Every structure is written in C-alpha cells, then in structure tokens.
Amino acid sequence: MQKLPAGRKRSYLMYTLTGLKLKNPAILAAGVLGTTGASLCRVAREGGAGAVVTKSIGPAPKTGHPNPSMIKLDCGFLNAMGLPNPSYPGFLQELEFAKNNSDVPVIASIFGGTPSEFAEVAEGLLPAKPDAFELNVSCPHAEGYGAAIGSNPCLVEAVTAAVKDVVNVPVWVKLTPNVADITCTGNAAESGGADAVVAINTVKGMAIDIESGYPILGNRSGGLSGKAVKPVAVKCVYDLYTALEIPVIGVGGVSSWEDAVEMMMAGASAVQVGSAVYDRVDIFSEIGSGIEAFLKRKGYSDIKKIIGLAHEMV
Amino acid sequence: MLPLNATITQITEESSLIRTFFFDHRFEDMEPGQFVMVWVRGVDEVPMGLSRKNSITVQKVGEATSKLFELKEGDSFGLRGPFGKGFTLPAKGEKVLIIAGGVGAAPLSPYAEAAFAAGAEVNTVLGARSAEHLLFEGRFEALGKVYVSTDDGSKGIKGFVTDALKNLNVAAYDRIAVCGPEIMMVSVFRFLEEKKVLDKAEFSLHRYFKCGIGVCGACCIDQSGLRVCKDGPVFSGVQLIGSEFGKYSRDASGRRVKI
C-alpha cells in the first residue's frame, strides 16, 4: 500500500480513466444539465461529480422536438429532446466557461450525420480544450443521427476513426442498447481507436395518453432512462467488459451508490448519472462517499478491486 | 407523472389578448408562483403560472397559446405539475407589496390572496399597456391599495410600474413580489437595488423550458447554473445579482438571445 503524507486522508476513489484524473467515479451523463457552462460547473462543484459530459453538440443549431420532451413514469423517465444544441460555434463559450470554472475533467459530447461532420464538430470545439470527447452514436430519436449511425458497426468504426484522426485527447463512444448485440458496435468502436465505450444510451420507448389517444412525447416516441433500464445496462456492460480491451463506462438507471457498485462489478470503470439528478443535484457526492464507505467496510484497498468482480465469481 | 386530463369548465375573457381557463381539477397543495406544464395535444406543451388552484391565465403569444385560444368549454388539455418553487408566504402582520406587469399579475394574484389570508397587509402596484389590459385589478383591490400605471395613461399614472413605485416608501414593506415582462422586472430590480431592499424581493423568471422537471438543463441561468423550472421560477433578488437576468436568455437550441 502506498504511503501517504502524515495527516492526509487516503482517497480510495482517486484514479485515472483514459488518462483523466477522477476524484469520484460518478460522472454527469450527456444531455443532463449540460446545456450551459454554468450548469456544468454547478454539477461539478455543488454536485461533486468526478467529471462532467456536455449536452451533445452538432454542426448546426437545432431546436429539438416539440414538448412534451420528457415525462416521469413510475419506472423511470421517457424523453425525446431531439438533440437541441446551439452548434459548435455557439457552444464554444459555454465549454470554455466550464473548463475555466470547474476543477474536474470536462468531456464534450458531439454528434453528426457523417464521419466528416463528427470530425468537423470535434475540431471546432478543440479551441476550448475539452479533456475528452464522447461520440453520441446512440440517441434513439433523432433522424439521421445518433442510433441511425450507432446501429451500423462500419459507421461506428468510421466515425470513431475520423474523430481520433483530428484530436489528441481521449475519445469515448457512447453505444445504443437498441441493437441485437452491443458487443458488435463496441468492437467496432475499439477497432476505430476508441479509448473507452460508454453504455448505454436510452432504450426505445413510448407512452400514450389514454384520455385522448395521443402519444405523449412531442416526437411521439423516445428513449427510456432511470430505474427501469438498469438491468439492461448491467447486462450490456457485463458483455462489453468481456468482449473489449478498452474500459467500459456504465450508464443507465444509476441512482445510488449500490447501483454504481453493481455497475462496476459488471465491469464498468466508472459510472455516469443522468435522470437521477431529478431527485438531487448532489447525487454524485452521495454515490462517491457511499462507494468509499463500502470499499472500507469490505476491506477493498482501492476501487479497481471491484471493477469486473462479477466475472470472477463463477 | 403523466399529464392529467383537464376539462375546461369556463373561459373568461380578461382582455382582447388574455383569457382565463378554469378547469375541473384543483391543485390544493399548490404554492402561489408555481407553474403547470400545459399540453395542447398535437401542438406543444408550455409552462403557465397558476392564477388560481383551478385556473391558468394565458396571453396569446405563440403557436401553443393560439391553439389554446381555439379551445372551448368542455374541451380538454393535459396538465403536469404544479412544479418549481413559488413565492415565500409572509407571516401574520407583515406588509407585502405586489408588483405586477401585464400577464405577470396571473401568478401574483393567488399569492396576494394567500398572503392576505395569512394575515399580511397587501398592497399592489399594477401596470399594463392600457386600462383594457390591467389584469385582476378587482382581485387585488379586494385585498388592499392598488397603485395603477398604464403606458398610455388611460388609467392611473402614465408610465411604467417604476413610475408608480417612486411615490411609495418601499422600505416600509417586509416582502416584495415581482412578476412581469423581464424588461419591466429588471427596471424594478434596479430600483429596489438602489433603495437597498433587494433582500426582501422575489422575482418570477421566464425561460424556455423543455423537460420542466429539472433534468435537461435548458433553462439554467448564468452564472449560478440554477434551473428556472426547479430551483425557480421564483428567485430572491439577491440570487439574481450579477446574473443573466435582464441581459440575455437562451432559445430552444441554447443560443443566447438579448433581452
């Protein structure tokens, strides 16, 4: 065990993920509280997130789908935002603000319709010095974007390679669960040079207002997040951990430290938290301290001991 | 929470541009200043302050509100809420000043009534573009003094609510509640800042909402990152010092737009 200077508290949680130093494995997921630099800083500071991922940014301004764009269900949340974003030139000032005012890694989530659009957006955001990029090839409800690319392994590889070509920071690829076998697209991301994969984006879903017969979401259908999708995410992470060499970041229904530990035991090197900010913005600190207490109680010397632990239990 | 089906029981024409829609559900636990997401099916869903436990009062401004104006008694819309943080209720014996501009009187009217019911003294500064557009004058008059201003001078002082405010001793009030167009609210903000009473004041903000439940982040304000839909829409004057309030907001894509 590494010796620490007298009086300094040992941190069980400090570790490095694709070269980024994390003080907490709970990271803000893309598309949640990430539209403005100030909001990202609030999640980092007040919320205690180990890193923050921005709203997905594309090549041109988009207003997204009409409302209702998100509703709470008993089992989770259903949303169809439609990738609203101010375009990369419009987002530069927000990203710069987040970088200059938060002391955690800031990851830029980006999307495009083609490999060259992905590269254009990544290059366009480089002046703000994001610590990493996360490629959104998994949004289930934006025509021509997201999962339209992410369900085709050849395109996933091409998009990943195109971004890797133009940036020298880590590139994470966020995968969709709405495919027959997520390890195919995971492998494609790895072949394209991805430094990590992030799994999962939302699961396709829909809700209908029985009083009127109208689908509730403005886009008619959307993606399910929250509690309901956690077992789906755990299984995807478990399979990806087996199939890939690169780290897997687990996301989907994590709303407590127990959920985070479960996701890490399935093979996640870190977790992302999205919908759970509904209950409290400081959910990230709560998860971090919960994991730390768990590690101490169980006698694990550091967090890496639990990553993929379930795979050893056969 | 799925949208509840609200059937319109009565429509009151408040002015040529403003209508009150009464519906068959009462939000008994609503805090005055909270809002509901009003779903005009097949069109859009927009935030509206509750003007009573069972009504919203709407100004026709865009596609969703125009469609809402086409609805008749017996028609229905979807409602989610009430959401957000409302105005702080006074203690018995406190003095409350309401400052309302245009349709901003809508969420302030139930607040004024709740404050009065709590035993506070409630006076109101009510402004509008003309006499015809003064909203809920009678509801405020039933509680205390009402100081009126109109842009065209058709009733009360000719000018803005700040012109009416100049004749009042704002320092004599324990609480000041403000809602109206942002241009109006920011001039009230500056006036109250000058009088050093910002700490007593609360403002109800409008921003573009997507989720309405504090998750997506579309309505966050600079530099605090506070969410208007969940941490607001009512903020204390002190929370707004040095903020984007009165300077810019963001549109549906997140681009900054000057106020």
Find the CATH number of the domain harbouring B179.
3.40.50.80
Q: Does B71 touch chain A (CB under 8 A)?
A: no
The pTM (predicted TM-score) of the whole model is: 0.95
Residues B239-256 as b or e (16 or more Cβ within 10 Å = b): bbeebbbbeebbebbbbb
Nearest-Cα residue of chain A relative to residue B244: A38
| Paired tokens of A63 | 């207003």
Looking at B49, B83, B117, the residue that finishes a domain is B83
Nearest-Cα residue of chain B relative to residue A226: B215
Q: What is the pLDDT of residue B214?
A: 97
User: Minimum mean pLDDT among A91-95, A302-306, B108-112, B136-140: which range?
Assistant: A302-306
Same domain, B40 and B118: no
Same domain, B30 and B158: no
Q: What is the pLDDT of residue A41?
A: 98
Residues of B in contact with A43 (CB under 8 A): 225
Does residue A115 belong to any structural domain of this protein?
yes
Same domain, B117 and B55: no
Q: Return the percentage of chain A with pLDDT > 70, whole number.
A: 96
Same domain, B121 and B245: yes
The residue among B215, B222, B228 with the most chain A CBs within 10 A of its CB, best to mutate, is B215
Measured distance CA(B41)–CA(B7) in Å, rounded = 13
For chain B, how many structural domains are there in total?
2
Same domain, B126 and B212: yes
Q: Is the pLDDT of residue A143 over 90?
A: no
The shortest C-alpha distance from A66 to chain B (Å) reads: 6
* Domain membership of residue A236 as a residue range: 15-312
Looking at B29, B49, B83, the residue that finishes a domain is B83
Q: What is the pLDDT of residue A10?
A: 56
Q: Residue B91, Cβ neighbours under 10 Å: how many?
A: 11
The CATH number of the domain where A109 resides is what? 3.20.20.70
Measured distance CA(A109)–CA(A55) in Å, rounded = 6
Does residue A25 belong to any structural domain of this protein?
yes
State the average pLDDT over residues A147-174.
Answer: 96
Report how far apart, in Å, the C-alpha atoms of A157 and of each of A109, A186, A206, A236 are. Answer: 17, 9, 30, 19
| Paired tokens of A189 | 């991301």
Q: Do the bridges between strand A52-53 and strand A196-199 make them parallel or antiparallel, or are there none, so unpaired?
A: unpaired
Amino acid at A152: N
Does residue B88 belong to any structural domain of this protein?
no
- Cβ separation B2–A85 shorter than 8 A: no
* Domain membership of residue B254 as a residue range: 95-258
Q: Does B5 touch chain A (CB under 8 A)?
A: yes
Does residue B89 belong to any structural domain of this protein?
no
The shortest C-alpha distance from A227 to chain B (Å) reads: 15
Measured distance CA(A187)–CA(A218) in Å, rounded = 34
State the average pLDDT over residues A182-204.
Answer: 98
Spatial contact of B139 and B171, defined as CB atoms under 8 Å apart: no
In the predicted model, residues of chain B with pLDDT beneath 50 are none
- Cβ separation B2–A216 shorter than 8 A: yes
Same domain, B125 and B176: yes
Looking at B48, B83, B118, the residue that finishes a domain is B83
DSSP conformational letter for A66: P
Same domain, B15 and B127: no
Same domain, B13 and B121: no
State the average pLDDT over residues A207-219.
Answer: 97
Q: What is the pLDDT of residue A9?
A: 53
Does residue B90 belong to any structural domain of this protein?
no
Q: What is the pLDDT of residue B1?
A: 84
Of A25 and A144, the one with more pLDDT? A25
Q: Return the percentage of chain A with pLDDT > 90, whole number.
A: 90
Q: Is the pLDDT of residue A11 over 80?
A: no
The CATH number of the domain where B30 resides is what? 2.40.30.10
The shortest C-alpha distance from A212 to chain B (Å) reads: 8
Does residue A60 belong to any structural domain of this protein?
yes
User: What secondary structure, in 3-state letters, does A158-184 show?
Assistant: HHHHHHHHHCCCCEEEEECCCCCCHHH
Does residue B14 belong to any structural domain of this protein?
yes
Question: What digits encode the pLDDT tens for the residues A71-87?
Answer: 999 999 999 999 999 99
Same domain, B121 and B201: yes
Measured distance CA(A228)–CA(A249) in Å, rounded = 19
Q: What is the pLDDT of residue A140?
A: 80
Q: Does B215 touch chain A (CB under 8 A)?
A: yes
Which is nearest to B228 in space by CA: B246, B209, B242, B247? B209
- Cβ separation B39–A211 shorter than 8 A: no
The shortest C-alpha distance from A278 to chain B (Å) reads: 6
Q: Mind telling me the catalytic residues of A?
A: 139
Which is nearest to A98 in space by CA: A38, A46, A53? A38
Does residue B238 belong to any structural domain of this protein?
yes
Same domain, B51 and B100: no
Does residue B239 belong to any structural domain of this protein?
yes
The stretches of A126-229 forming alpha helices (DSSP H) are 147-150, 153-166, 182-191
For chain A, how many structural domains are there in total?
1
Q: What is the pLDDT of residue A6?
A: 47
Complex-level ipTM: 0.94
Q: Does B48 touch chain A (CB under 8 A)?
A: no
Does residue B179 belong to any structural domain of this protein?
yes
Q: What is the pLDDT of residue A147?
A: 82
Residues 6 or more apart whose Cβ sits within 8 Å of residue B206: B47, B182, B228, B233, B249
Nearest-Cα residue of chain B relative to residue A210: B5
Which is nearest to A22 in space by CA: A126, A168, A137, A132? A132
